[in-house]
Amino acid sequence: MTPLPNAEQIWQALAQVPDPEIPVINVVEMGIVRDVQVEGGKAVVTMTPTFSGCPALYVIREGLEQAVRGLGFAEVEVRTVLFPPWSTDCITPEAKAKLERYGIAPPRPTSEFGLIELELELVRCPRCGSLDTAVKNTFGPTLCKSIYVCNVCREPFESFKTL
Per-residue confidence (pLDDT) for residue 122, from 0 to 100: 84
Per-residue confidence (pLDDT) for residue 116, from 0 to 100: 53
CATH 3.30.300.130 spans which residues of the chain?
A: 7-80
In CATH, the number for domain 7-80 is 3.30.300.130
Per-residue confidence (pLDDT) for residue 87, from 0 to 100: 92
What's the rounded Cα separation, in Å, for the pair 156 and 137? Answer: 11
Per-residue confidence (pLDDT) for residue 111, from 0 to 100: 66
Per-residue confidence (pLDDT) for residue 52, from 0 to 100: 77
96 exposed, middle or buried (CB, 10 Å; 0-12, 13-18, 19+)? buried
3-state secondary structure of 28: coil
Per-residue confidence (pLDDT) for residue 114, from 0 to 100: 54
Kindly report the backbone phi and psi dihedral angles of residue 145, in degrees, each rounded to the nearest multiple of 5, phi listed first: -130, 155
Low-confidence ranges of the chain (pLDDT < 70): 1, 111-121
What is the pTM for the complete model shown? 0.83
